[in-house]
Structure 1
Amino acid sequence: MNLPKPIPFTPQAGASPLIYDFQAWQEIDPAQIPRLRFVYGDTFAAGYLSVTFAAPKTGKSLLALSEAIDAATGRGFLTGKPAAPIKVLYYNAEDDLAVIQGRVAAVLQAWQIPQSEIIGRLFPVSGVTAESPVVLIRGEKGDIAESAFLALADLIKREGIALAIFDPLQDLSHSPETNEVFRALGGRIRALASETGAAIGLVHHTRKPSPGIAPTLDDGRGGSALRGVARFNRLLVPMTEAEGAQAGVDDFRHYFRIGEAESNLAPPSSDRNRWFEKTGVMIANGENVATIRPWVWPEAFTGITVNDACRVRAEIAACENPPRENSQAKGWAGEVIAEVLGLDLSKASDKARVKTMLKKWIESDVLRIERLTYGDKNKQADFVFAGENNPAVPE
């Protein structure tokens, strides 16, 4: 085996040698190892950086502010898990204070939360109207603004802030959006989280996606360097028109989901996705203000009872001419299902539901397929009959 020859190295003249004092393993008590402590949900952990990536107009600012209020009140109206209230800093660099205040009022009104629950706990700040906007990095070479980090560290410690959310990152930087800049900035923000013990969340834009290509976590503006320094990353994905038709919603543009966390992809109907609906709330000043609320992807069998399954099975059994399994064929079995259940096959969402129900009932033998010969030319096709599994009969 031929080993590569070592490359000679000549130390720089006058350089002081480094001494690394790396310690070997010593016996420890595993019970004393510090545990990861989440301050809100499963995204924001004490002492760590989390990044939310999203395209413009997806709903990232509405989500970030709602999460800030949810954490400050401890209500758990987004997570479904009430917790102890914490102090939260929400810094929005794009909107003025009146806009932020209106959105806070909309969230409180939507969830019937009195203002008393956020007094002294929520710090909503506008980078537009603030006397000293937060800028964390400057210049072509990406010089860290240490004075800003020292001021943030002092604020977080002094006020006991457990979660700080900055929205969006692009307005906190006066440097080019390069890998090098975001690697340096992300590393310094991560150090701020570690130093203060606060959970820090960043909202960051994705690049404009190519037509027909779904965005991923690697599409954050400035490359993947920022993703690499964060402990938790997630991507907000807007609903597509096809998904809207499948879900049966009136306007697909009102919905988005947390569709990717650390590159774990799942179809839109998966339980792993957390969906949200953008809606409007009329607040006391007469303005209709946008906010969000959790939304659940409609399941095929939602609202379908055992009695409904029995009715479908009986109607299939009573057909003089057995219906076809193929949805493209004349006399499709789905037409029987839709008629029994009062569904409209002209609606894409209802037709998708019927297809799913037919498939599942065939798999469970509530209904059964038999291949038969039909017509003058002796063609063969799959026809649907009642199966042996009668849902009305207890096991």
Structure 2
Amino acid sequence: MTAPQPKPDPRPHRTAFYRVNELAHQISGDVVLVPDASNLTGITREDLVKLSHWATKGDQGEHLLTPDNIDRLAVLTDSFFRFIDEGQDATVLTLWRSGTPLIQQIDGSPCEAAVDLVTDAITGMRPLQEKWHGLPPLEAEIEILAYSKGFTAGHRPKWLERMARANLAERDIDVEQSEPAPVATNDNAQHDERLVPYLVAFAGPDTFISGNTVFGAVVGGLSGKIQIVADGRALFTSRLSKKFIELPSQPKTLAASPFTLGDPASLPERDWLFGRHYIRRYATASVGPGGGGKTAHSISESLAMVTGRPLLDPQGAMTKPLKVWWVNAEDPQDEINRRFHAAAKHFAVSNEQIGGRLFTDSGRDQEFVIARQEGRDLKIVEPFITNMVAEIRQREIDVVIVDPFVSTHEAQENDNSAMQRVAAAWVRVADEANCGIELVHHVAKNQGEVTADSARGGGAFKDKVRSMRVFNVMTQAEAEKAGVDDHRAYFRVDLGKVNMVASGQSQWRRFVSVPLGNGKGLVKTGDEIGVVEPWRWPSADAIAERAASARSAVVADVPAETLAGVKVRLDASDYKADQRAKHWAGNLLIETGIADGREQAKAMLAAWIDAGELEIVRMKDASRHEADFIKPIAGV
């Protein structure tokens, strides 16, 4: 007798969805459909369709998952920073393939650890767990907050702990009873002094001590924390390994880290924010004379950054809009408002285009002082740094522009050591807040051509910033060459110090006056505000054409018979082209009253040469030495 055959599954796609959904829970992902299971080349998140149920329907009411496309089931896992100390933007796709998964990264910076983590979770049949899983309530809350705010590995400022405690208090969680009391050397110490040597020996980019813990310590290439336990031992644990490592009682304070070449394509790109000058986690500077356009230029740049429009580069492309905090430590808020309104009016920028990404503040309303002088000592204002970093993080600000730099500190500018400390403090803000800091700075008095060495404060300030731009007002000679009237309305911007990108050509700018229309009575224009806009230096052909036109105008009113007489005299005698010669051709024009001085004579000769009336001929003089002479062109 034939054994009864099992009935075929009437809805195999439902069974498949439930299996893949279990896998999604295991690797903390979402169930998705890929377009083509046989070809994942070039696939991105936008190509995937998310499924919330096996019977999920599309826009047209059709079922997205059918028995025919079971092979397209996959799981999307991202935000690996919640599991490991990297892979913030990494996206890993796991194609189910009827139980034989194919795992590959499809988006974000290359992160092999993310792919390995998903592979280990599947092969080891253990679910992925966030880094805060199993930690005491306070530490878990700190880690959750750090993840939500995008802090780098080990970076846990003190205000984060205060916020975590407040959150736990709202949920009626007693932190003191849920965690063992820290071991301290005395009741008044803010942290365990025994941890200081470990802080020095195992410091990472964002290491700090809080209580009985060193956060952000780096041991053997892993980031984690060091704690002093009750028996006095120092133990290190990493979120990756979850294993305790006992550290020596006398830690080494210095160690050499071996370097190994790998695939350069796997290295993360520098995070340029705007114009190959602003860069994330670094301080940059713009230096120039007072009234030279630095402030107005930063306003136009700020609007370009928050809108993504190429306001200062007409041929440029749209860019990703950024959040900008523009701080002027000297001007009142109403003056700041006037300047931004004028620039927005000139460039036709609307509130919708700004999109809430611009923040402006005055130093008259809030203090933006990062260093104070106390007697002979310069003190970095740590509460200001803490508050500044917290605000930048909370607002997710990309660029902070501080104008002027001198108003943010009380250091002696001729003290290189002090200036280095102040600049380093701003670099700390950039690094801890994960943003770019632009410092607008003045030059020393009586400067001619402004260079990177012209900045007040000596070389210490220049050496601490990653990129420095210098501003120079157009000279009178440049104005005459370019054919502009008021040279003071034009200036150029050059990269005076570049650590990360090759220097390019000068960028020219000019001031335009924009009426705000805020006047009263008969005068409706009101305030006139200077706004900086792009300007291009004329081409060589345009300059040559303008010069030729100017020379032609010099002789436009000379009668034809006068020119004919000049030609006869030049042809009959030997007049040289060199104005230093005794028998210079220009002397003929001056002596006959045709030209009023040497400059006019020189211009008239040049004009007639351009017009083809005269030419320079190489011939021997009376002493049989070759020289250049001016003669009329034969037949003219």
TM-score range, shorter chain: 0.7 to 0.9
Cα distance in 2 between the residues matched to 1:326 and 1:159: 70
**Among candidates 378, 381, 385, match of residue 628 of structure 2:** 381
1:45 aligns with 2:265: no
Cα distance in 2 between the residues matched to 1:248 and 1:325: 31
Cα distance in 1 between the residues matched to 2:380 and 2:625: 79
Structure 2: any 5+ residue segments left out of the alignment?
1-196, 198-249, 519-525, 553-562, 588-598
- In the TM superposition, residue 232 of structure 1 has moved relative to its aligned partner by 0.3
**Among candidates 138, 149, 163, match of residue 372 of structure 2:** 138
Q: After the TM superposition, which of the residue ranges 320-329 and 154-163 deviates more from structure 2?
A: 320-329
- In the TM superposition, residue 304 of structure 1 has moved relative to its aligned partner by 7.5
**Among candidates 395, 399, 410, match of residue 174 of structure 1:** 410
1:290 aligns with 2:530: yes
1:186 aligns with 2:411: no
Sequence identity of aligned pairs in percent? 27
Number of equivalenced pairs? 328
- In the TM superposition, residue 243 of structure 1 has moved relative to its aligned partner by 2.3
Distance 1:109 1:374, change over 3 A: farther
Distance 1:55 1:25, change over 3 A: same
1:165-201 deviations in Å (ceiling 9; x for gaps)? 1000111112322211210011121122122221110
SS at match of 2:628: strand
Cα distance in 2 between the residues matched to 1:262 and 1:154: 30
The AA in structure 2 aligned to 1:43 is: H
Q: Is the 8 A contact 2:516 2:529 kept in 1?
A: yes
Distance 1:223 1:215, change over 3 A: same
1:276 aligns with 2:509: yes
Matches within 5 A, 1:186-265: 186-209=423-446, 213-262=448-497
Q: Is the 8 A contact 2:293 2:491 kept in 1?
A: yes
Structure 1: any 5+ residue segments left out of the alignment?
1-14, 265-269, 313-318, 333-344, 359-366, 387-395
Cα distance in 2 between the residues matched to 1:237 and 1:102: 25
The AA in structure 1 aligned to 2:291 is: K
The AA in structure 2 aligned to 1:29 is: D
Q: Is the 8 A contact 1:236 1:260 kept in 2?
A: no
SS at match of 2:359: strand
Give 2:394's aligned residue.
158
Give 2:32's aligned residue.
none
Cα distance in 1 between the residues matched to 2:308 and 2:578: 49
Q: Is the 8 A contact 1:217 1:263 kept in 2?
A: no
1:56-102 deviations in Å (ceiling 9; x for gaps)? 11111101111111111110111334201110010011111111111
Cα distance in 1 between the residues matched to 2:473 and 2:260: 50
Cα distance in 2 between the residues matched to 1:152 and 1:73: 24
Cα distance in 2 between the residues matched to 1:142 and 1:32: 42
1:126-165 deviations in Å (ceiling 9; x for gaps)? 112x2x2211000142211111111111111111111111
The AA in structure 1 aligned to 2:292 is: T
- In the TM superposition, residue 274 of structure 1 has moved relative to its aligned partner by 1.0
Give 2:618's aligned residue.
371
1:207-255 deviations in Å (ceiling 9; x for gaps)? 0025xx4332112111110111111011111122232233232111111
Distance 1:17 1:165, change over 3 A: same
SS at match of 2:439: strand
Distance 1:151 1:378, change over 3 A: closer
The AA in structure 2 aligned to 1:237 is: N
- In the TM superposition, residue 27 of structure 1 has moved relative to its aligned partner by 5.0
Q: Is the 8 A contact 2:578 2:628 kept in 1?
A: no
SS at match of 1:224: helix
Q: Which of structures 1 and 2 has the bigger CA Rg?
A: 2
Give 1:336's aligned residue.
none
The AA in structure 2 aligned to 1:282 is: P
Q: After the TM superposition, which of the residue ranges 15-24 and 44-53 deviates more from structure 2?
A: 15-24
Give 1:58's aligned residue.
292
Q: Is the 8 A contact 2:451 2:496 kept in 1?
A: no
SS at match of 1:302: helix
The AA in structure 2 aligned to 1:109 is: K
Matches within 5 A, 1:68-147: 68-79=302-313, 80-128=316-364, 130=365, 132-139=366-373, 140-147=376-383
Query: What value does the CA root-mean-square deviation take over the aligned residues?
Result: 3.7
SS at match of 2:254: coil
Q: Is the 8 A contact 1:50 1:201 kept in 2?
A: yes
The AA in structure 1 aligned to 2:432 is: E
Cα distance in 1 between the residues matched to 2:397 and 2:576: 60
- In the TM superposition, residue 55 of structure 1 has moved relative to its aligned partner by 1.2
Q: Is the 8 A contact 1:137 1:174 kept in 2?
A: yes
More relative contact order in 1 or in 2 (CA 8 Å, sep 6+)?
1
1:21-46 deviations in Å (ceiling 9; x for gaps)? 32212353322212112111111011
Q: Is the 8 A contact 1:135 1:145 kept in 2?
A: yes
SS at match of 2:377: coil
Distance 1:23 1:73, change over 3 A: same
1:88-123 deviations in Å (ceiling 9; x for gaps)? 010011111111111111111111121221241111
- In the TM superposition, residue 378 of structure 1 has moved relative to its aligned partner by 9.8
Distance 1:138 1:370, change over 3 A: same
SS at match of 1:142: strand
Cα distance in 2 between the residues matched to 1:246 and 1:239: 11
Cα distance in 1 between the residues matched to 2:335 and 2:495: 29
Question: What is the TM-score of this pair, normalised by structure 1?
Answer: 0.72
- In the TM superposition, residue 327 of structure 1 has moved relative to its aligned partner by 8.2
Q: Is the 8 A contact 1:374 1:381 kept in 2?
A: no
